[in-house]
Amino acid sequence: MFAMLAGLLFCASTALAQPKEKREFAIHYRFDKIDVDSTYMDNAATIDTIRFCLTHSVHIDSITVYAWASPEGGYPHNVWLSEKRAAAAKELLLELAADTTRLNEGKIKISPLAENWPGLIELVERDYRLPNRDRLLRILHAEGIGEETRKWSIKNLDGGYTWNYLKRHYMKQLRSATWVCVWTSVGAIMPLEPMKDTLLPPPVGLGRKVEAVRKPSSEFTFAAKTNLLGDVVTAVNLGLEVPVGNDFSVNAHFMFPWWTAGPYGNKYALQILNAEGEFRWWFAPGEEKLQGHYLALQGSGGKFDIQWDHEGCYQCYYRQAGISYGYSLPLTEHFNLEFSMTLGYMGIDYQHYVPAPDYSILIRDNFGAGTFHYWGPTRVTVSLVYPIYLKKNKR
C-alpha cells in the first residue's frame, strides 16, 4: 500500500480590529512517515522560521493545522496518515513554542483532509500538456463517482502510463508541500530576514494566492552503489548513476579486485578489471528518482585472472552486451536496495595455465586456449545504493 505524505496549514490570528500580515511556510514528509523529520528537504530552515515567528508574535488567538494526503494508496490509510501527521504537526508547534507563553494546546485545532484531489486538479490544469489531457480532466472532474473508482479510471488510462506520470511529476507536490499562514498585527513580528529564503510556491488545493514566491529548488541527483554479491566474494566494485531527465539515467560500474595469495603468489588469485555502462529507462518510477522498475541497454568488457590451486588457472578477456531489467526500492531512510538481471551475449577469449608443483611459475597450456560464446543470463546484481541530492535554489 502506498503511503501518502501530507501537508499542514497553520493560521494564527490577532485581535480582529488590528491589521493582519501573512507568512507562508512548508513542511515535508518522508515516504510513509508520520513524523516531522528536520533533516528532510527544506524542513530545517522552515522549522527555524516557524520558531522565529512564534517567538516574536505579540499575540496568537488560534492555529488550525490542516493535513492531507495525495490520492495514492487506500482511502482509509490516507485518512489515518493525515490524522497522525496533523497530530505530529500540533506537537511540533507546541515544542517550538515551549519557550513562550503565547501558545497552548487549547489554541491549536487539527483538521485532517485525507486526499487532496483539488490540489491534483489544480496541478493538472496548470501544467499537464500530454495528449490525453482532456480525458484525464474529465475523470478528475467527474461527479457521482467514488474516489476509488476515480483512481481506478486514471490507473487504467493509457495502460497505467498516466498514473505513473502523475506519481512522478505531481504527487510529491501534494504530499510534501505544507503551508503555514501566520496572521498577526503589523509590527508584531520583527523584520523577518530569515523568511526571504523560505517562501515557497503557492499551495495546491486550497485556492490561496501568494504574491511573493520562490521557484522550487532544482535537484541534481546521483547515486553511489556497490554490488553486494561481488563484495561477498571480495570482488571490490563501485558504481555511479546519474539521472537524465525524469525517466532515464546513465549507470557506470567498475570492478577491480586485484589480489594473489599462496606460494609465489600463484596458488590463488582474483584479479579483475571490468567496466560496464547502462542506459536505463525507468518505465514505472517509484517515489523518488532512481527508484522503481527500469529496463536498460547494458554493455561491459574487461579482463580477469582466476587461479585456484592446480584445478583452475585461467586468464581471460571478455565482452558482454544485453538487456537488463531491474527494480530499486527504498531500504532505509538513506539507502536503496537494487535488484537486476541481464540477458544477452558474452564472448570470452580464454587461456589456460598449469602451475608448477611449487607454484613458482605458471606454464601456458597451448591446447587450453580458445573463445567461448554464450547467450543467456549474463549478470545478476543485488546492489546497495546511496542516493545523493544536491539542491540549488532558483529565484
SS3 58: coil
The dihedral over CA atoms of 150, 282, 388, 178, expressed in degrees to the nearest 10, equals -10
Owner of C-alpha cell 490520492: 71
**Sheet strands (E) in 160-233:** 179-182, 218-227
Write down the pLDDT at residue 280: 96
Write down the pLDDT at residue 6: 39
Percentage of the chain modeled with pLDDT above 70: 78
pLDDT band at 7 (very low <50, low <70, confident <90, very high): very low
Most confident of 199-208, 243-252, 274-283: 274-283
pLDDT above 60: residue 88: yes
Rounded to an integer, what distance in angstroms lies between the CA atom of residue 134 and that of residue 308? 66
Rounded to an integer, what distance in angstroms lies between the CA atom of residue 99 and that of residue 343? 62
Owner of C-alpha cell 539542491: 391
Sign of the torsion angle spanned by Cα atoms 174, 176, 177, 178: positive
Average confidence (pLDDT) over 246-273: 91
Q: Specify the pairing of strand 248-255 against strand 108-115.
A: unpaired
Write down the pLDDT at residue 100: 60
- Amino acid identity of residue 348, one-letter, is I
Is 0.85 surpassed by the pTM of this model?
no
Give me the domains of the chain, ranges plus CATH numbers.
9-116+174-210 (3.30.1330.60), 220-392 (2.40.160.20)
The DSSP 8-state label assigned to residue 288 in this structure reads S
The residue among 343 and 169 whose pLDDT is bigger is 343
Write down the pLDDT at residue 169: 81
**Range scoring the smallest mean pLDDT among 202-211, 268-277, 348-357:** 202-211
Rounded to an integer, what distance in angstroms lies between the CA atom of residue 367 and that of residue 364? 9
Termini Cα distance of the chain: 37
Supply 160's cell numbers.
497505467
Supply 143's cell numbers.
461527479
The residue among 217 and 155 whose pLDDT is bigger is 155
Residue pLDDT, tens place only, 280-338: 999 888 777 888 899 999 999 999 998 887 778 899 999 999 999 999 998 887 899 99
pLDDT above 70: residue 17: no
In 3D, which of 64, 51, 58 has the Cα closest to residue 11?
A: 64
Residue pLDDT, tens place only, 356-383: 888 888 888 888 899 999 999 999 999 9
Helices (H), the chain: 43-56, 75-96, 117-127, 133-141, 147-155, 161-166, 172-176, 228-232
Query: Which residues are 25's β-sheet partners?
Result: none
SS3 168: helix
Write down the pLDDT at residue 185: 46
Contact 120, 69 (CB under 8 A): no
344-373 burial by CB neighbour count: b if 16+ within 10 A, else e? bebebeebbbebeeebeebeeeeeeeeeee
Residue pLDDT, tens place only, 20-74: 555 566 677 777 778 888 877 777 888 888 888 777 766 666 777 777 788 887 8
pLDDT above 60: residue 395: no
